[in-house]
Chains A and B, each alone.
Chain A
Amino acid sequence: MSIKERKLTCIVCPKGCDLKVEFDADGKIAEVSGFTCPRGKDYAIAECTSPVRTVTSTVRCADGAVVAVKTSKPIPKSMIFDVMMEINSVLADNNVKIGDVVIANVLGTGADIIITSNK
């Protein structure tokens, strides 16, 4: 019987709490400690079950200018590079502005790629 633990650094806020997740013999999460807010606990559980990340990048407009984008919500960590390929294959309209959607429901993740800067 092996009781394993995993140490994490929380990325929810700049505090960066040291988190510890302990697993029982079946590999299920037995205890989470070290968090100082409920979001930290949620992060620790998600990180050990299905980790997610918000991706930020840029897209090019038809006129060659570059605007910033982000996923409207975190996407599975394993899909970061797939989502990046989608982002890099799109050409945005010349008059996009903050909040506009350039790719809806990117790769079925439920997240949109939205514009985060004005030209």
Chain B
Amino acid sequence: MEKNNVKRADLVIIGGGPAGMSAAVAAYEKGLRDILILERDDALGGILRQCIHNGFGLHRFGEELTGPEYAYRYEKQVREYGIPFMLNTMVIDVDGNKVVTAMNRECGIFKVEAKAVILAMGCRERPKGALNIAGCRPAGIYTAGTAQKFVNMKGLMPGREVVILGSGDIGLIMARRMTLEGAKVKAVCELMPYSGGLARNIEQCLNDFDIPLLLSHTVVDIHGKERLSAVTIAKVDEGRRPIPGTETTIPCDTLLLSCGLIPENELTKASGIELDRITGGARVDGDRETDIPGIFACGNVLHVHDLVDYVSEESVIAGEAAVRYINGEKSHGMALKLVTDGKIRYTVPQRISSAEKTKVYFRVSNVYRDVKITVKAGDRVLLEKKKQKVAPGEMETVILTPDMLSSCDKDETLAFSLEDIKK
């Protein structure tokens, strides 16, 4: 390989979406200058560029912004600070020694030797192929995010009569968006007995437009040869199996799929970083450091967030920690292990390596009412937090203080559980 095809940078950030930009800005503000953001698309901003609806930034900026406006705040900072970024640049490998291999049209294939790397590649939608729907394979079936890109960035309508499978937030948002542009959204079917989307999106995206949300329903057949002509839906039982006799056929020309998001961890896997089976992202410590020292992860590549505000918050943690790592100041004094009871599905971080204040994000596996979140070290209760209602679609957090953490043995296990409050 030619010499000019090897570059160096203190910090390489893979992905120029909200996570990558927040991490870059945080690292810059901690004094680091030699930063390089690598972005696959032709602009910074990531998925926010197509999320033109409002509701972003209430936590971070105290005001309601649309997706592109939220992204622009960070892009402006990146540009004002003069943080280098390369667009149209695809990273193809990250190795355990923090050598990043990437390519673009100008440089061809090149390597960047980094002191630290932040993985901020985001997530992808679960595709049709992963859903095992029977029937034909006509045109007119899209993931909700693809449809969102067509409508919001290209000004093209994917269809006129729509059924949506899955009630994740993007599906709900697209139900409203398609309706506003004159399409008829006939139903949103959700396999589970509850929606995976935010309650407010059910209200303002479905109820506002009288779009029915059919819980415990799925698509069992697809009709149409060239173009989709109808879908058959059916009710499902507790085991999520279609109940014979409950089938209804709905004529439509478009089926949108909003059936979950999967962290995009091909690079992470190839680098040998240990992944969490439940989150689909890397297993990290409180600093969002993976099991390879100096490689960090943040945002939707680590675990899928409902709010970009939390992505930014988490990315600041990763960005600042990367600077401490580069400066040789990152401590690994503890090895606390976080475990969950199943009602709590996962925590991020999965381990804690210093007694600094740590915000722990987690999700529950079902809708539970009148519960308390409990964190125990052995028999000692470190923290209890009461909740009227918790749901899988809404990420929860607790804060572990330095006092709580320093009261633990170096390699103790912290047990996260959900307990009923007796009424």
Q: Taking beta carbons and an 8 Å cutoff, which residues of A are in contact with B?
A: 8-16, 18, 53-58, 60, 64, 66, 68, 70, 77, 80-81, 84, 88, 98, 116-118
What are 18 A-B contacts defined by CB distance under 8 Å? A9-B200, A14-B198, A16-B199, A56-B52, A56-B54, A56-B66, A58-B52, A64-B155, A66-B154, A66-B155, A68-B66, A70-B66, A80-B208, A88-B181, A98-B69, A116-B68, A116-B69, A118-B72
Which residues on B are within 8 Å of A, measured CB to CB?
49, 52-55, 58, 64, 66, 68-69, 72, 151-155, 180-181, 198-200, 202-204, 207-208, 306-307, 394
Find out whether the CB atom of A9 lies under 8 angstroms from the CB atom of B203.
yes
A66 to B199, CA, bound (A): 30
Q: How far is the CA of A46 from the CA of B339 in the complex (A)?
A: 45
A-B contact sample (10 more), CB < 8 A, given A16-B203, A80-B208, A98-B72:
A9-B203, A12-B200, A14-B394, A56-B52, A56-B54, A57-B180, A58-B152, A84-B181, A116-B52, A117-B66
> A16's contact among B49, B66, B200, B207, by CB below 8 Å, is which?
B200
Q: Select B180's contact among A15, A80, A117, beta carbons within 8 Å.
A: A80
B-chain residues with CB within 8 Å of residue A98 when the two chains form the complex: 68-69, 72
Complex Cα spacing A54 to B58, Å: 15
Whole-angstrom distance between the Cβ of A1 and the nearest chain B Cβ = 29
Docked pose: A119 CA to B180 CA in angstroms: 22
Alpha-carbon separation in the docked complex, A118 to B152 (Å): 13
A54 touches B54 (CB 8 A): yes
CA distance A57 to B151 in the complex (A): 9
The majority secondary structure among interface residues of chain B is helix
Question: Which residues of A have CB within 8 Å of B181?
Answer: 57, 84, 88
Contact present for A77 and B155 (CB under 8 Å): no
Contacts of B58 in A (CB 8 A): 13-14
Nearest CB in chain B: distance from A118 CB, A? 7
For B199, what are the chain A residues with a Cβ–Cβ distance below 8 Å? 9, 16, 18
Known: A56-B52, A57-B52, A60-B155. A84 touches B203 (CB 8 A): no
A31 to chain B, nearest CB (A): 19
A53 in contact with B204 given A14-B55, A14-B58, A117-B52 (CB within 8 Å)? yes
Supposing A56-B54, A98-B72 touch, asked if A68 and B152 sit within 8 A by C-beta, the answer is: yes
- B155 and A58 form a contact (CB under 8 A): yes
- Chain B residue at minimum C-beta to C-beta distance from A97: B72
CB distance from A10 to the nearest CB of B (A): 7
- Chain A residues lying within 8 Å of B55, measured Cβ to Cβ, are 14
Tell me, in angstroms, the Cα distance from A77 to B180 when the chains sit together.
12
Determine the distance from Cα of A117 to Cα of B56 in the docked complex, in whole angstroms.
14
A10: chain B residues within 8 A (beta carbon): 200
What separation, in Å, do the CA atoms of A9 and B203 have in the docked complex?
6
Which residues of A have CB within 8 Å of B64?
54
- Residue among B52, B203, B207, B208 making CB contact with A68, cutoff 8 Å: B52
Docked Cα-Cα span, A64 to B156, in Å, equals 11
A11 close to B200 (CB less than 8 A)? yes
A79 CB → nearest B CB, Å: 12
CB distance from B280 to the nearest CB of A (A): 22
Q: Determine the chain A residues whose CB is within 8 A of the CB of B307 once the complex forms.
A: 14
B contact residues around A88 at 8 Å (CB) = 181
Contacts of B69 in A (CB 8 A): 98, 116-117
Which residues of B lie under 8 Å from residue A68 when comparing CB positions?
A: 52, 66, 68, 152
> Could you tell me the distance between the alpha carbons of A92 and B83 in the complex, rounded to whole angstroms?
32
Interfacial chain A residues near B394, Cβ < 8 Å: 14
CA distance A13 to B309 in the complex (A): 12
**Complex Cα gap A116–B50 (Å):** 11
Q: Quick one: which of B52, B55, B151, B154 has the most chain A CB within 10 A?
A: B52
- Chain A nearest CB, measured from B61 CB (Å): 13
**A9→B202 CA distance, assembly (Å):** 9
Contacts of A54 in B (CB 8 A): 54, 64
Nearest residue (CB) in A for B202 is: A9
Most buried by B among A9, A13, A98, A117: A117
Kindly report which residue of chain B lies nearest to residue A64, judged by CB atoms. B155
CA A60 to CA B155, docked complex, whole Å: 7
Residue from B58, B151, B200, B306 having most chain A Cβ neighbours under 10 A: B200
CB neighbours (8 Å) of A58 from chain B are: 52, 151-152, 155
- List chain B residues, Cβ under 8 A from A81: 180
Kindly list chain B residues whose C-beta atoms are within 8 Å of the C-beta of A118.
68, 72
User: Once the chains are docked, how many angstroms separate the CA of A57 from the CA of B394?
Assistant: 26
- Could you say which of B53, B202, B207, B208 contacts A56, with CB atoms under 8 Å apart? B53
Assuming A68-B52, A68-B152, A98-B69, is B208 touching A77 (CB within 8 A)? yes
Of A14, A64, A70, A84, which is within 8 A of B306 by CB? A14
